[in-house]
Amino acid sequence: MTSNENQQPATTSITAGRDGTNSLAPTLSTSSTWSSSGLEESNRQANALHQTGNYSRYANPTVEAFEHAIAELENTQAALAFASGMGAVSSVVLALCSTGDHIVAQRNCYAGTYAFLVGPCARLGIDVTFVDGRNAQEFAAAVRPGKTMLVMAESPSNPHIDLVDLTELGKIKGPFTLVDSTLATPLAQRPHDHGVSIVLHSATKGIAGHNDATLGVIAADLDLISDIWTYSVLHGATASPFDAMNGLRGIRTLDVRLARQSDSAQQLAEWLLTQKNVTGVHYPGLKSHPQHELAVKQMNYFGSVLSFEIAGGKPAASKLLSALKLVRPAVTLGGPETLISHSASSTHNSVDIETKTKTGLTDSLLRLSIGLEACVDIKNDLASALALTN
Ligand SMILES: *Cc1c(COP(=O)(O)O)cnc(C)c1O
């Protein structure tokens, strides 16, 4: 979809997803339906795939503008938006998998994805093998030829910030491969360029970027998007035009936000490493991150999210959360405000103990989503609060 091959992604985030009018801001199209000239046109619309001008569950001009922008940024032929990141996850899985099929999935993933795979998928007889995403060979080794429909990865992973080797994943042939690229956003990495079939985002996070939209999106080849679209109109997790408008608005400033957030995250990660009551820091920009070299190879930014381990476990984490004044305890990421969460008891509360242990989801782990405040103020707030947890 890229209009100009030489154009930088930061520029594409400004030029992409224009609706053909001369309006500079996204046009909000609230109509749930459009009239037709008569029976012939109605019949043509009934046979059309993913086209606006008929009924909003099938397609909507504002949502379509957002989808076009994502397809251009991800360098894919097409994209499809959903009511949330989980709307995207569940629609893709159910569009592509049936009873008796098999999925290979990364164990260390977003808790909603994990819950969907161990809950509804198991109930429907879709078999899931979980692997450690840090070792790309494990994905390929778990594939059962003829049975595995989907290989699902997440990079960087939420909340332990592990990476998946996108090139190794892209080499897997047979099943469709999917990368949840939420923590990277389309500007930090492009999984489809590595041969990955489907790129998925919770656009609720960095893409919309202002904590004012609940939105999901996938980007892939047109044929695959059309197949998933055919199922998705029945599933009904349709993106709201208002949220798609905020998603598109967010894309316009994504590069400057991500640059600022990544810069602050790097400084804070390095500073946290030197704090005596911090026992570990997970951020791909750190030389001490076990996958730092891979991060340099496949990422343009290291992202807005880091996690760290606090000495003293859950009681110390609890003290820290209460002592912070600027940094707020909350469970999303990628927005303007710096947020902190104790993953094991909040976002990942539902994950079973065995999986928590295997994926490093300890009681000491705190996830920080770095916002747009001056870095020094975030640091001062963390320093004051950390001093109280000694
Ligand atoms: C938040 C999140 C999701 C789910 O997205 P929603 O928009 O909350 O449904 C999926 N994957 C990752 C990595 C996330 O952080």
Give the C-alpha separation, 147 to 175, whole Å.
Answer: 8
Q: What pTM was estimated for this model as a whole?
A: 0.97
pLDDT of 2 reads 47
Q: What is the number of domains present in the chain?
A: 2
Please work out whether the CB of residue 341 comes within 6 Å of at least one atom of ligand 1: no
Evaluate if residue 265 carries a pLDDT over 80. Answer: yes
Q: Say yes or no: CB of residue 158 within 6 Å of ligand 1.
A: yes
Q: Is there an atom of ligand 1 within 6 Å of 182 CB?
A: yes
For a pocket test of ligand 1, which of 110, 117, 189, 207 has the largest count of ligand atoms closer than 8 A to its C-beta?
A: 110
360 lines ligand 1 (CB under 6 A): no
Residues 135-185 pLDDT 10s: 989 999 999 999 999 999 999 999 999 999 999 999 999 999 999 999 999
For the ranges 8-12, 44-48, 273-277, the lowest mean pLDDT is seen at: 44-48
Secondary structure letter of residue 118 according to DSSP: H
Same-domain check for residues 142 and 288: no
Is residue 263 domain-shared with residue 216, that is, in the same domain?
A: no
Q: Map tokens 């046109």 to a residue.
A: 41
205 lines ligand 1 (CB under 6 A): yes
- Domain coverage including residue 64: 9-252
Cβ–ligand 1 distance for 148 under 6 Å, the answer no
Looking at the domain assignment, is residue 167 inside a domain? yes
- Looking at the fold, whether 279 and 345 belong to one and the same domain comes out as yes
User: Ligand 1 centroid to 110 CA: how many Å?
Assistant: 7
Q: What is the mean pLDDT of the chain?
A: 96
Q: Ligand 1: which atom is nearest the Cα of residue 157?
A: 13
Both 41 and 20 in one domain: the answer is yes
Residues 283 and 220 in one domain: no
Q: Which residues of 259-285 are buried (b: 16+ CB within 10 A; e: fewer)?
A: ebbbebbbbbbebbeebeebebbbbbb
Indicate if 276 and 148 belong to the same structural domain: no
pLDDT at 347: 86
What's the pLDDT tens digit per position in 49-89?
A: 898 889 999 999 999 999 999 999 999 999 999 999 999 99
Cross-sheet strand order for the sheet of 365-369: 278-282, 305-310, 365-369, 339-342, 328-329
CATH of the domain at 361: 3.90.1150.10
CATH of the domain at 99: 3.40.640.10
Share above pLDDT 90 across residues of the chain, in percent, rounded to a whole number: 92
Contact status, residue 152 vs residue 182, Cβ threshold 8 Å: no
**Location of structure tokens 């003290």:** 319
pLDDT of residue 258: 98
Instruction: Tell me the mean pLDDT in the region 277-306.
Output: 98
Q: Is 325 part of a structural domain of the chain?
A: yes
Residue 154 near ligand 1, beta carbon < 6 Å: yes
Cα 215 to ligand 1 centre (Å): 9
From the alpha carbon of 182, which atom of ligand 1 is closest? 13
229 lies in the same domain as 323: no
Residues 241, 375, single domain; the answer is no
Of the residues 117, 205, 331, which should be mutated to test ligand 1's pocket, given the most ligand atoms within 8 Å of the CB? Answer: 205
Q: Do 138 and 237 belong together in one domain?
A: yes
Evaluate whether residue 2 is within a structural domain.
no
**Based on the domain organization, do 158 and 205 belong to the same domain?**
yes
4 is a domain residue: no
Same domain flag for 63 and 196 = yes
pLDDT at 3: 55
Alpha-helical runs (H) found in the chain: 9-15, 39-47, 61-74, 85-96, 111-118, 120-123, 136-142, 166-170, 185-188, 222-235, 241-252, 254-273, 292-298, 313-323, 353-358, 375-387
